[in-house]
Amino acid sequence: MILAFLQVALGGAVGSALRFGVGLLVLRAATPGFPLAILTVNILGSFAMGLCVVWLAQRGLTAWQPLVMTGLLGGFTTFSAFSLETFTLFERGQIGAAALYVALSIILSVGALAAGVILARGLWA
C-alpha cells in the first residue's frame, strides 16, 4: 500500500509539472481572456486517460494505474478522472446516472468554490 502512495505522489508531481508547462505553452500561443490552457490540459488528459485505461488493462499492467492514471494524469488534470467515471457510467447504460453525475459535479463544484470565495472574503476582509 505504501508503494501505491509513493507511485501516486511521484506521478502527481510529474503530472503537475507537465500541466504547468503545457499551460505556459498554450498561454504564450493564445490570447488572454479565455481559459484555453486549462481546456487544452483537460482535453489532453482525458484523451490520455482513455488510451491508458484500455492499454494497461489489455496488457495486464493494472499495477501501473496508481502511477500513471491516478498520479500522472490526476496531477495533470483531475478532469480526466471525471471524464473516465462519466464514460464508465455511460458505457454501462446508466445514462441518467452519468447525466446526474455531470450536472452535480459541475454545479456543486462551482458552487463550493463560490462558497469558499465568499467565506474567505468575509473572514479576511
- Feature table: binding site for Na(+): 74, 77
- Rounded Cα distance, 41 and 75, in Å: 11
Residue 43 one-letter amino acid: I
- Burial level of 15, CB count in 10 A (0-12/13-18/19+)? buried
Q: Contact at 8 Å (CB) between 67 and 7?
A: yes
CA angle 88–89–92, rounded 5-degree value: 85
CA angle 92–96–101, rounded 5-degree value: 90
Q: Which residues are annotated as a binding site?
A: 74, 77
